[in-house]
Structure 1
Amino acid sequence: MKKLFILLFVIGFILCTPKPQTDNTIFVDLDKPEKASLFDYFRSIELIPLETSSNVLIKGITKMIVHEDKYYALDKPLCLIFVFDKAGKFLFKIGTKGPGPREYAFIQDFNINPFSGNMEILEPYGRIHTYDLSGNFIETRRIAYPGFRVAHSLAALDSTTYVSQSIFAPKKILYFNLDEQKLLHEEYEEDMSIGSYANNPYQYQKDWFFFWPFHPVVYKMGKERLEVAFRFDFGKYTKDGRTAILSKESERNFAKRTEEMFDQYSYMIQAVRHNNKYIFASLLWKDEDHKANIIYDRSTGKSKYILDFDEKVWFNSYRGEEIIITDEYALMPIQWVDLEKRITKEMLDDKQKAILEKLLQADTEQNPILIKYWFK
């Protein structure tokens, strides 16, 4: 009897003890939100308004790259890349939309190739337009390996090897050699219906990372295949997130499809970024109106699930904004109309308060504003 009591005590202790964090597993209790201030992580906040003029009007920034003290901002609706200096002053535009040579119909993605030092603009049906960083056209190349269908993102792993994401292919991640026009490897299979929620891969330092909204694993794009970088463990809510049972109505109605997806998965991971100190994720929880943040501290091995920061402002990606994380700062372009949802005067020093006041007093809509959060 005594042995049975000891056994039951040990089992109960194990079940009640919180799971320890491991090197690549982040445990998050979605039933227990915690309190946090943005200033637990950041020492100061800087506003960088992107210049607004009759010749420089941005509809929306869908991707941004920071390179050599310049901001390269993709405006997908206008099919242009706007270039600004570090203070937000407009410098020039890159690209020309049109049907002719040296022109493109649409920009799906763009990157700065670290091996050539040039900018590569991707059209989804297989054309890569190369420019130098001053905006001068260099060449157009085609992705034309046998069986190629469509590419929704593009990243160079070396001078000839690229990896792309294809939402409409059965396997979503495709490695190919551009010079030899050869498919090298493909993986990550999931239902086509889930693909419409996809996010573009993100870059940290020299590596590329990939995640899918309902699948709790973040992968590093290795030289030959995907490698697990880290995974989220949401306890009883954790699911593989690669298949879904959807109604016929959801095929025609995206809102209905989203509702059915939340019924099956509870959460949707909207953004993940990391640096040497933290892993950040933004989450939609149970429906599109409930927004949350996850911040994992690498030094303590602990994560926080945060519904509202003490400052009562939005942080992270809630309208599909691009977020950039480096070891020094986090950077987000936000719409002028969302400014008061993102920042308050109390969060700023006197210089930044004056910039905020000027922006709030503008009588016409301004170009996006970059919010730069400097890490402690």
Structure 2
Amino acid sequence: MTVIPFESAVQDERELSMSDFVANVDYIPLQTDSNCLVGNLWDNGVVRSSKYFFLAVGDNLLQYALDGKFIRVLGGIGGGPGEYNWISDIDVNDRSQRLFVGDIGKINVYDTETGDFICSYPTNDETFQFKVKNDSTLFRFLYNSTGKVATRVLISDAHGDTLRAYPRHDLFDVEEGMVFMIGSSDDRFMYRCGDDICYRENYNDTIFTVTEQELIPRYVFDLGKYHLPSDYRFELLGDDDKFNSLASSYLSIHPIEVADFVFIPYAYWAGKGKRENMMAIYDKRKNECYKVAGGALKNDMDGLFDFRPAIALDDYTLLKVVQASQVLRYAEKNPSVLENERLKNLQEDDNPVLMVVTLKQQP
């Protein structure tokens, strides 16, 4: 277990450039036509295999080539075989060419080459985020929407049988009528790093490595004075005004782990600071943590967008989703943006652009 001294680290601010970390940056406009309107894509609704991107957009599942060319819609809305009602999460296995799609009560499995539906794994409940090991063992995070969901991580097999259940100890009573927890597109409850499957909840300062035998503490973030007290949780207060007042001086972190670093985007839980996008970085090799000035890596490579990652596609690749309208607004002040061959024909209503950043591999 590694303790990351976050409270002291955010006092050590450094000007950092993309070239300090990045080997390559690419911009991939997603093809736009009536068959593949993406809309407001959440960053963590994207996974990548060696040949494709897969996008979960609410009730739509889209497949794109790595150059952004649209390939197909997978499945469809409904309750029949291969259909889904609401996509909670997606995962992909490159070796077996299988895509896994979370729905209420099941996880659908598709062939990534043909788009054909293969089968469904029963889950008997709503799986919010998940990862699949060896194509048949499901590591599932259960969303505590009522305050009384007693299991936080459930490991089950392809038949729906439970192999291991890890209990949740911070159960609570919610205000009458409340059936949700505070959350955002930055939430990453389950992720992979190398061969490990990892888990962390928004209110927990610890990242765990999940195995079928135990939860192993991996990183503890020492937030110190920035840690939100349990009594100030939104679900417990049940009041927006109280939460905005009491939680406005505490920080919410959203760690993104790759091979050599943990990128830590963060913001205040509430108040005006909630809109202030900040970031820290923990360097695994040097065992040091520091704040990034301006909340992003300065783009000294191609003169386009500064970079604040949203998710990791693999151990050396990070992603940021940029709406077409954002690109064009940026281009009003920086016309050179539209000189980029991939962006020059972009229109206001086009699908988003994927900013894909490949990190340097450290010796």
Which TM-score band applies after superposition, normalised by the shorter structure? 0.7 to 0.9
What's 1:266 paired with?
250
Structure 2 matches for 1:295-306, cutoff 5 A? Answer: 295-306=281-292
State the AA in 2 paired with 1:336: A
Instruction: State the shift of 1:257 in Å.
Output: 6.5
User: How far apart are 1:340 and its partner, in Å?
Assistant: 6.2
**Percent same amino acid among aligned pairs?**
17
The one-letter code matched in structure 1 to 2:317 is Y
Tell me how far 1:191 sits from its aligned partner.
Answer: 4.2
Shift in Å at residue 293 of structure 1?
0.6
Tell me if structure 2 keeps the 8 A contact 1:244–1:261.
no
The one-character-per-residue Cα deviations of 1:339-375 (angstroms, maximum 9, x if unpaired) are 36889998x9x9973333433xx2x311111112232
Q: Give the corresponding residue for 2:302.
A: none
Of 64-73 and 218-227, the range deviating more from structure 2: 218-227
Contact 1:345 1:356 in 2 (8 A): no
What's 1:202 paired with?
191
Q: Which of 151, 154, 174 matches 1:171?
A: 151
**TM-score of the aligned structures, taking structure 2 as reference length:** 0.79
For structure 1, list consecutive stretches of 5 or more residues without a partner in the other structure.
1-22
Equivalence for 1:356:
343
Q: Does 1:137 align with 2:123?
A: no
Change (3 A) 1:232 1:341: farther
For residues 311-360 of structure 1, what are the alpha-carbon distances to aligned partners after superposition, in whole Å with 9 as ceiling and x for unaligned? 3866335xxxx5225344322222222336889998x9x9973333433x
Structure 1 residues 159 and 369, CA, compared in 2 at 3 Å: closer, same or farther? closer
Counterpart position of 1:293: 279
Greater shift in the superposed pair: 187-196 or 171-180: 187-196
Paired residues of 1:295 and 1:305 also in contact (CA < 8 A):
yes
Confirm or deny: 8 A CA contact 1:177 1:184 kept in the other structure: no
Task: Note if contact 1:129-1:140 (Cα within 8 Å) is conserved in structure 2.
Answer: yes
Amino acid at match of 1:129: N
- Tell me if the contact between 1:283 and 1:291 (Cα under 8 Å) persists in the aligned partners: yes
**Aligned-partner SS, 1:259:** helix
Displacement after TM superposition at 1:206 (Å): 3.0
Query: Does structure 1 residue 50 correspond to structure 2 residue 39?
Result: no
- The counterpart of 2:49, out of the listed 67, 80, 89, is 67
Aligned-partner Cα distance in 2 for 1:222–1:273: 20
Tell me the CA shift for residue 184 of structure 1: 2.3
Match of 1:315 among 307, 324, 334: 307
Cα contact 1:285–1:292 (8 A) shared by 2: no
Q: Are 1:368 and 2:352 matched, yes or no?
A: yes
Tell me the residue number matched to 2:177: none
Q: Give the distance between the partners of 1:135 and 1:174, measured in 2 at CA.
A: 28
Q: Where does the alignment leave 5 or more consecutive residues of structure 2 unmatched?
A: 175-179, 300-304
Alpha-carbon spacing, 1:173–1:365, altered in 2? closer, same or farther (3 Å):
same
Alignment-mate amino acid for residue 138 of structure 2:
Y
Tell me the alpha carbon deviations over residues 63-104 of structure 1, each in whole angstroms, 9 at most, x when there is no partner. Answer: 11111221111111xx12211111111111111102444422
Q: Structure 1: how far apart are the matches of 2:268 and 2:293? A: 10
The 8 Å contact of residues 121 and 129 in structure 1, kept in 2 or not, is answered as yes
Query: Which residue of 1 is the match for residue 129 of structure 2?
Result: 153
1:91 corresponds in structure 2 to 71
**TM-score of the superposition, structure 1-length normalised?**
0.76
How far apart are the structure 1 equivalents of 2:257 and 2:221? 13
**When the two structures are aligned, how many residues end up with a matched partner?**
333
Q: Is the 8 A contact 1:274 1:325 kept in 2?
A: no
Instruction: Indicate conservation of the 8 Å contact 1:128/1:141, yes or no.
Output: yes
Whichever of the two has the greater Rg, that structure is 1
Please report how far the alpha carbon of residue 32 of structure 1 lies from its aligned counterpart in structure 2 after TM superposition. 4.3
The answer to whether the Cα contact below 8 Å between 1:165 and 1:173 also exists between their aligned partners in 2 is yes
